[in-house]
Structure 1
C-alpha cells in the first residue's frame, strides 16, 4: 500500500452547486441523524435485558435506599460488603433508581445515554483534530459510526456494567487533550486528569491504560518548551490523583468497623482492590483471577490471535484490519511531513491507545472477558476516520480490508443470508471504483462515502443489531448468539457460576417470606450473585457470605454473633458453596447443625430467628 496524500488526498467537499448555507448545515444534519440512529439502536427493546447484571442492579437499588450504601457502592443497603468495583457508575444508576423507581429502564437507560454522549464527544474530538470544515465532519461521522456500531459497544451501552461510563470518560479525556495541545494549555490538560481520575473510580486500572497515549501526544506536540511540558503534565497528574483518589482516601481513613467490607480485596482496603483484583491480577493472573481458554482453533489463549478470534473477534475486531491500515497511513504521512501538529498528535494518541489495549487484551493471563474490548472502539473509529480523509489510497485499502474481514466473520458466525457476502463485496467494489473516480468527478464524493460505509460497516452493523435483539443477563454477557461450536467464556460461566443470575429465578413465595422479615438482613446466602437476586426480588437487604469471590467475611464467629443478635432472619442454601470458600462452608455446616431446613418453592431455607 502507498499511504501518501494524493492530489485530491481527502474525500472532497459536497457538490459545488450547493449553497454556502447548505454546506454549513449538512454536518449538523448528519450528526443529528447519527445520534438518532445510535439512540434507537441502544434503546430498542431495551427491557429484554431485564435488570441486566443483577450484581450491580442490587447495588443500585441499595444506593437508592441508603446514601451511605450509594457512597460506598454496597451490595446491600445495610453496608455488609461492596461490589468488586469502585462506585462511580453505581452513583449514576443509584440516582436514576432513586428518581425513577426500581425498574429496568431506570437501570439501563443511563448506559444508553452514555453511549450516545460518547459518540457525540468523539465526533467533536475529530472536528478539533481535522480542522477542515468538510473533512472534519466526515472524519467525525466515520469515527462515531464505528464506535456506535461496534458490537461490544452496543452490548455495553445497553447494559449496566461499568464499561459504559468508563468509555465515555476516556473519550471526554481525549477531547480535553485535543483542546489542550494546540495552545499548550495546562487548564485543559487538568481536565484530562480529572476525567481519567473519574475513569479510575469507574473501573480502576482499565480506565488508566490510555495514560501512555495521552502523555506521549502532549510531550511530542504541545507547542511549548520541554521545561513547561513537564509541569503541565504534573498538573494533570495531580488532578488525576485528586479526582480519583479522594474517594479512596475517605474509605481508607474510614473506620473499618463502621463501613462495608471492600469486596474483591484480600485485606479490606481499596488499594488492594485497585492493585490486586482490579489491577495486576487481571493482567498477569494471581489472586482471584482466573484464565480461561479452549483447545480449539479459535481460542481465548493469550496471543496475538485472541483479539481476532472467538467472542473477542465478534465483539471488536470488525474494523481492526482497517485500523491497522490507518496506523500505517499515519506513520507514512508523518514521515512525509504531510500532517499538521494536531493531526500528528491525534494519530499518535489514537494509535498508542489502540496498540496498548490490543496488546493487553491479547496477552493478559488473568481474568479476561470479551466485552472489555469496548475500549478499542473509540480509537479504531478515530484512526479510520482520520486516515479516510487524509489519503484516498488508504481509504481504498481500508474498505477492502474491512469488507474482507466482515465476510470472514459473518461466515464464521453464520449470521444473515449468504447473499450478504455478495452485497458487501459489491459495495466494496463500487466504493473502490468511486474513490478512484473522485479525481475527475469530485461531485461523486457523497456516493463514494455512502458506498464505503456500506462496505465497511454492514458486517459490524448486522452483528450489533443481532446483539441488540439478544436478551442478556448475568455478569459476563456475550454480544449475540452465534453458530460457533466452541463454548464462549460467557456460556461457560453461565453454566458453572451464575446460578441465580436473574431476579426472575427467585420463587415468589421466597421473595414474600424475605419481605416479611423485620431484621436488618432478611437473609444470608452464599455469594453476591445469589444475594443480589434475592435483594431485587424481595426489596430487602441480604447478607452475601463470601461476597463475589470468596471474600473472607463474615467469619463463623461474626455470623454466630449476628444470628444471636437477631440481625438475620433466614439462611438460604444457594447450592453454590465452593471448596475454597472456607468461611462459607463453615457457616453452612453450623447452620445445618443447629437449625431445621424447610422448603420454600425449590429453595432450602433455615429460619434463624
Structure 2
C-alpha cells in the first residue's frame, strides 16, 4: 500500500540544528510562525493575570511561607512556622516560593511562573512532535495545546498541574529521543522527568509510564535484552528522582518538621499511596470530605464541567490515533511515527480511562493532563492524513475528524447561553470543510490550502473561543473550572452553564460534606481591616498569630495580615494536627495568640475529630469577641 511508504519527517530526526532556529529543509515560514505562536501563547496566558488575585489561596499561602522560611519551602508548609504541610509533594511550591523570595509576595510573583510553564509546554510539545512528524504537525500540536480551555485555566492558576504537565512533556520528548538510537541516557532523563512530576502531583504522574515504556520497548533499535535493561535503568532513575525526597521526609525526626498534611499518621508514604494515591482510584480516602463516587464511564469526560475544558478535540484525537496506527501497520518495528502514537495514545487512553472510572476525588481541572496527548495526536494525525489525502481512506478519516470536531463543539455548547451563534458556526463550518477535504486532492494547490485553513478554523473555533473566554475570566477558589463564567467551588466568576452533552457527570462532582462544613473549608475570603490589624498586633511575640480550622480560612488570614496562621486539621480539617493535647500545650506556652472561629461544624465520615475537639475546647474555655462579624478568641487571657 503506497500510503504506508511515504516519509514521516521532512528532515532527518537527528539533525543538529536548534529546533527554534529550524532545520535544513524547513520552509522559511516555520521560524516566524513558531515565534508568533509562542508570543501569542505568552500574551494569552499573561495578560490580565493579576485579576485572579491569590487564585488558589491554599497554595499561595504556602508560597508565602516558603518565601519566608527555608524549612517551609522544603517541606511545603502552609505557614512559615511549620505547623502542617499542603497535601501534595511541594515541587510546584519550590518554584513559586523562590519567585516570592526574589520578587516579593504578589499575585504576579506567584502566577507568572505558571504562565511561563505554559509557554514552555507549548514550545516543548512543538519540538517533540516536530522531531517525528515535521514542523507543520508540531505547530498544529502547539497551537491546539495553547487553545485548549483547561490548559489556559491551569497555566493561569497556581495548582501543581502546570509543573506536572511540563515535566511529563519533557518525559515524552526524552522517550522519543531515546527510541531513535536506543539511548539509555535519554531514557534515564525521561525517568527523571516523571520522577520530578511525582514530586509535583504524586502518583498521577506515573500514569504515563506504561505508554513511555511500551514505546521504547517496541521501537528502540537494540536487542530485546538491552531494551529491558535500559528500561530498568530508567525505572531506577525515576525512583531515585522521586524517592530521595520521600526518604528525607520519612527519615526526618517528626518533632523537627511540620505534620504531613493529608495523612492520618504523619507519613508522606501514606499521603502518596493513600489519600493521593490508590484512594483516588477506589474512593477509600481517609480524611476526605466526600465519600466514594458512583461507578464512572467514559462519558464523564464529556459531561458537566469537564466537557468545556477538554472534550472539544477528544473524538478527533482518538480518530487520529487510529489513523496513525493504520498508517504504520506495516512499517518497520523501529518506526518513530508508531512509537510517537504509542506515547501519546497510551498517555491519552490510560489517563483518560483512570479519570473516567476512578471513584475518589476528581475535579474538572485534572483533565489538563490529557491536553498534551490530545494536541500531539491531532497535530501528527492531521498533518499525516493531509499529506496522504490522495488515498481515499486517508481523505475520509481526515474529513471525519473535521466533521467530528464541529459536531463536538456544537454539543459542548448546546446547553450554554454563552455566544449562542458559535455552536452553529462551528457545526456548519465543520461539515462544510469536511466535505471539501474529501475532494481537496483534486483542487489546485492554492484552493487546497484554503480548504486546509477552513478545516483548521472549523476545528478550533469552539475551543479557541472558550479558551479566550477562560483567560478573560478571573479564577479563584479551590476547584476552578474552564469557561466564560467559572464559579469554581469557593470562588470564581458568575457561575454560568457548562458544556455538557451527557446530562451530567457520572461519578463526578464533589460528594457530600462532613456535617455541612465543606463550604467554609473550601472557601477563602478577604478579612476586614479591623481583623487584620488585630492579628498583626504584637504578632512577633508569638509563633502563630492565630489558628483556625482548615487550610483555606487560615490562608485568607495569613495572606491578608502577613503573619503565621496555623491551619488546624489541614485542608479538610480532618488531619490529627495538632491533637487536642498538643494544641493545649501550645496555648499553655503562649505560642498561639488568637483562635478564629471558622463557622464550620466538623464531625463525620472519616479522619480525625481533633479539629472539632479543639474548636469546642476553645469555645468552652475562652471568651469570644466579634470583630466585624468574625468570632475571635484571645488564647492568652
Verify the 8 A CA contact 2:4 2:327 in the aligned structure 1. no
* Correspondence for 2:556 among 521, 533, 552: 533
- Structure 1 length normalisation: TM-score? 0.91
Match of 2:571 in 1: 548
Question: Counterpart of 2:518?
Answer: 497
- 1:285 corresponds in structure 2 to 283
Who is 2:594 aligned against?
570
The question of whether the paired residues in 2 share the 8 Å contact of 1:218 and 1:229 is answered with: yes
Question: Greater shift after overlay, 571-580 or 111-120?
Answer: 571-580
Secondary structure of the structure 1 residue equivalent to 2:298: coil
CA distance in 1, matches of 2:191, 2:108: 32
- Rounded Cα–Cα distance in structure 1 between residues aligned with 2:478 and 2:614: 26
Distance 1:23 1:188 in 2: 25
SS of corresponding position for 2:415: helix
Q: Which has the higher contact order (CA 8 A, sep 6+)?
A: 1
Q: Gapped runs of 5+ residues in structure 1?
A: 14-19, 131-135, 295-299
**Which secondary structure does the structure 2 equivalent of 1:425 belong to?**
helix
Indicate the SS of the match to 1:305.
Answer: helix
Matched residue, 1:310 = 304
Q: Equivalents in 1 of 2:2, 2:110: separation in Å?
A: 48
Give distance in 1, aligned partners of 2:240 and 2:519.
Answer: 37
Alpha-carbon distance in 2 for matches of 1:283, 1:251:
25
When structure 1 is superposed on structure 2, of 426-435 and 474-483 the one drifting more is 426-435
CA apart distance, 1:499: 2.7
Uncovered stretches (5+) of structure 2, i.e. residues with no partner: 12-22, 390-394, 486-495
- 2:536 equivalent in structure 1: 515
Q: Label 1:324 to 1:522 Cα distance change in 2 as closer, same or farther (>3 A).
A: same
* C-alpha contact (below 8 Å) 2:546/2:593 kept by paired residues: yes
Counterpart of 2:34 (choices 15, 26, 31) is: 31
**SS class of match (2:377):** helix
Q: Which residue of 1 aligns with 2:615?
A: 588
Q: Helix, strand or coil for the counterpart of 2:581?
A: helix
* Mapped pair 1:127 → 2:151: no
Q: Which moved more, 1:567-576 or 1:498-507?
A: 498-507
- How many residue pairs were aligned? 590
Alpha-carbon shift at residue 509 of structure 1 (Å): 1.0
In structure 1, what is the Cα distance between the partners aligned to 2:244 and 2:577? 26
The answer to whether the aligner puts 1:461 opposite 2:464 as a matched pair is: yes
- Judged with a 3 Å threshold, the aligned counterparts in structure 2 of structure 1 residues 486 and 155 are, in CA distance, closer, same or farther, namely same
Partner of residue 201, structure 1: 199
State yes or no: 1:598 paired with 2:625.
yes
Aligned match of 2:15: none
| Counterpart among 353, 359, 365 of residue 365 in structure 1 | 359
Instruction: Please tell me whether the aligned partners of residues 194 and 206 of structure 2 are also in contact (alpha carbons under 8 angstroms).
Output: yes
Q: How far apart, in 1, do the equivalents of 2:408 and 2:269 lie?
A: 42
What SS does structure 1 have at the residue aligned with 2:83?
coil
Q: 1:193, 1:240 within 8 Å by CA — same for their partners in 2?
A: yes
SS in 2 for 1:317: helix
Deviation at 1:450, TM superposition (A): 1.8
Give how far 1:386 is off: 1.4
Output aligned runs, 1:33-48, within 5 Å: 33-48=36-51
Report the counterpart of residue 389 of structure 1 in structure 2.
Answer: 383
Distance 2:10 2:177 in 1: 26
TM, length-normalised to structure 2: 0.88
- Is residue 497 of structure 2 the alignment partner of residue 483 of structure 1? yes
Q: CA deviation at 1:417?
A: 3.4
Q: Cα deviations across residues 157-193 of structure 1 (Å, max 9, x unaligned)?
A: 0000000000000001101111110110000011001
